Amino acid sequence: MGTRRGLLGGERRGSGRRHPRSLPNNRATLSANWRATDELKLGVRSTLAVGRDKLNGSRRGGYGTHDIFATYAPQEGFAKGIEVHFGVDNVTNREYVPATWVTGPAPGRNFKLALSRNF
């Protein structure tokens, strides 16, 4: 299990502006991993972000996204040393716009698959 928190603040040099447009939302990430077997690890991750005021007076709302992921790493045989990583980001297909984005929403549900080999 793990947690991570990101809180940012700042001022653009010489501008006197409290929140430069490049600052992301303050957010917390919570994650949990479970090693089902020596070869299989499963996990979930939630990112919860608060809204942020923009320089033009608008406000970007907060959001919450949830991800799932798995890693399969055979421990013997011809596949020993290979890892297969699979994940689904934004499982609920939540539409949101991070504070640092100029236009449009962030990508919706995203599937990832990766294969790696250790030597």
pLDDT at 100: 75
| Residue 96 scores a pLDDT above 70 | yes
Gyration radius of the chain's alpha carbons = 19
Query: What residue type is 105 in one-letter code?
Result: P
Tokens standing for residue 10: 């700042």
Mean of pLDDT values over 81-98:
93
d(CA 86, CA 109): 13
- Count of domains for the chain: 1
The string of pLDDT tens digits covering residues 5-40 is: 555 555 555 555 555 556 778 888 999 999 999 999
Give the contacts of 22 (CB within 8 A, at least 6 positions apart).
Answer: 100
Query: Residue 39 belongs to what domain range?
Result: 2-117
Q: What is the Cα–Cα distance from 107 to 91, expressed in whole angstroms?
A: 11
3-class SS of residue 100: coil
The pTM of this model reads 0.77
